[in-house]
Structure 1
Amino acid sequence: MSQLPECVEVGPAEAQHCVIWLHGLGADGHDFEPLVPELGLVDRSVRFVFPHAPVQPVTLNGGMAMRAWYDIRSPRIQENEDTGGIRASQAMVEALIQQQHQRGIPSHRIILAGFSQGGAIALHTGLRQAEPLGGILALSAYLPLVSELDNERHPASQVTPIFMAHGSDDPVVPLSLAEHACHVLQQADYSVTWKVYPMQHQVHPAEIADIATWLRQQLDLGAEPSAP
C-alpha cells in the first residue's frame, strides 16, 4: 500500500459515509474544510477527509516547491503530463480508500471529490476502481491522461455517478478543457451531471447548494433536514 498522506478530518468517528476531498495546486487540506458546515452533512454520519498533497517543485511556477498532486510542466496543462506524479497520487488516494474500508465504510458509500488538480486526480482515480465508488465530484477540473482512459478504466466503475462543475470564465483550467472531459465521459456512457457557473477558478454559492443536493442523493441521505 502507498504511504498515507496527512489529512484533516471532520465528522463523526463512527461515520457511515465518507467524502475524500482533494485540494488544488498550492493549497492544502484545510482549503475546503470551511465548506463542510455549508453542506449540512456532518451530523448525518458523513466523515470528510481532506488530505494534504506532498510538497514538490512545480515547473510551471518556476520550480517553486508547493503542495501539488503532480507537476504541471506547460501552460497547456494537458501537454507533457507528469504521468508518474499522477499515478503516485492515484496510489495515495487508493490507500485512503482502503483506510476507510478498514474503518468500516464500503466503496459505494465513499465519494471522491476534488478541486482543480485535485478534481483531476479524483476523476483519474475514481474511474479505475474495481469496487465502484458512490460518486466522483470534480470541480473546475479536467481529465488527465485522457488517451489512457479506454485501456485503464475499470468496467465496474461504469456505474459511478459523476458531478462536474466549472466556471464560465476560468482562466486557469479553460472551460473548453472541462467540456472536452465531460464529452469524453458521456461518449463512454458514464452518467455525468454537468454544471457551469458565472465565475472564474473558484466556488460559487449556487454550486455549493448543488453539491450538497447531489451528495445527499448519492449517499441516499434523503432531503436536507428542516430548520428547527
Structure 2
Amino acid sequence: MVTRIDGPRVAAKSRTTKQLIVFLHGYGADGNDLIAIAQQWQNVLPDTTFVSPHAPEICALAPQARQWFPLGFPLSEDDPEAHWAGLEKARPVLDAFLDAELKRYGLSDANLLLVGFSQGTMLALHAGLRRPQAPAGILGYSGMLVGPEHLASAPARLVNGQRPPILLIHGSQDDVISAEAMFVAADQLAEAEIPCQWHLSTGIGHGIDGGGLQHGAFFALQSLKIKRPNAAV
C-alpha cells in the first residue's frame, strides 16, 4: 500500500481551479516551508490552486521535520545509487498524491506544474520526467539531477509529444548544493534532448530570492499557457 501524503494548501483566488502547482520541500523541512510562495504568485495565477505536501518520512537529522529519502552530508561525498534508490521509493508516493489531486480538481498533467527546492528538486525532476504524461513544466530551485544515465528511458512527454520544459534556479553562493550542480544538470538534460533554462541568483546561498521567485512565476505562466496579467508578481 502506497503511503498517503498531504499538506497545506492555498485555494485558487478566483475560486475556480484551472491549474495546480505542487511544491516539493527540501530535506529537513516540511510542506509549510514553501507554501508561502503561493501568496506571492496568486495575483498572477488567480485560477491556480497550490499545495505543498509533507514528505512521507521523518527526517533522520531533524525529527520535527520531514525527508523524501535519507541524505548524507556533504552531498558531494554521498552515494548516488542511494539517492536513486530513495527517489525510486518516493516516486510512487508522489505519483499517487498527484493523481489524486488532479482527479480532485478535474485536471490533467497538462495543468500541473511541479516546483521543488533542494531535495524536492531532485524528486520533481525524477518523478516529473517519468509520469505517463508529463506535467506542463518542472521548476527546480537549489537542487541537482540524480541518475542522468537513466534519462533516455524517462518516458514523460507533453500531449504534443515534446519533453516538458524545465527551469533550474540556483544561488551562486550555495554551500549546500554547489551552483555547479545546476550547470551540470542543464548540460545532462540537453544531452538527453530535454529543454532546460537556467537562472543564477548572484550572491544567494541555499535559498530563493525575489528574482528567483519572479523568474519562477513567469515560467509558471509560460508553461501553463496563461496570459500574463498586469498584476505585479
TM-score by length of 1: 0.89
Q: 1:216 to 1:78 in 2, by over 3 A?
A: farther
Q: Per-residue displacement from partner, 1:14-46 (whole Å, max 9, x unpaired)?
A: 411101110111111111122212113576210
What SS does structure 1 have at the residue aligned with 2:115?
strand
Aligned ranges 1:138-177 → 2 under 5 Å: 138-151=140-153, 153-154=154-155, 156=157, 158-177=162-181
2:5 is the alignment partner of 1:5: yes
Distance 1:78 1:105, change over 3 A: farther
- Structure 2 residue runs without a partner (length 5+): none
Q: How many residues align?
A: 222
Does residue 203 (structure 1) correspond to residue 208 (structure 2)? The answer is yes
Give the superposed CA RMSD.
2.1
2:132 is equivalent to residue 133 of structure 1:
no
1:190 to 180, 184, 194: 194
**Distance (whole Å) between structure 1 residues aligned to residue 73 and residue 87 of structure 2:** 15
Q: Say if 1:76 and 1:226 are closer, same or farther in 2 by CA, change over 3 A.
A: closer
Partner of 1:68: 67
Task: Provide the rounded CA distance (Å) in 2 between the counterparts of 1:7 and 1:77.
Answer: 30
- Aligned partner (choices 179, 190, 194) of residue 183 of structure 2: 179
The structural deviation recorded for 1:78 is 6.9
- Distance 1:43-1:211 versus aligned 2 partners, 3 A rule: closer
Q: Which residue of 1 aligns with 2:30?
A: 28
Instruction: Give the distance between the partners of 1:45 and 1:123, measured in 2 at CA.
Output: 25
Equivalent residue for 1:217, pick from 215, 219, 222:
222
Aligned to 2:46: 44
Distance 1:70 1:46 in 2: 28
SS at match of 2:107: coil
Percent identity (aligned)? 27
Deviations for 1:75-121, whole angstroms, at most 9, x for unmatched residues?
23473224332112211111122113312011111011110000110
Partner of 1:116: 118
Residues 133 and 160, structure 1, Cα contact 8 Å, conserved in 2: yes
User: How many Å separate the matches in 1 of 2:28 and 2:72?
Assistant: 15
Structure 1 stretches lacking a partner, 5+ long: none
Q: 1:150 to 1:209 in 2, by over 3 A?
A: same
Does the Cα contact within 8 Å between 1:109 and 1:133 map onto a contact in 2?
yes
Assess if the C-alpha contact under 8 Å between 2:3 and 2:56 holds in 1.
no
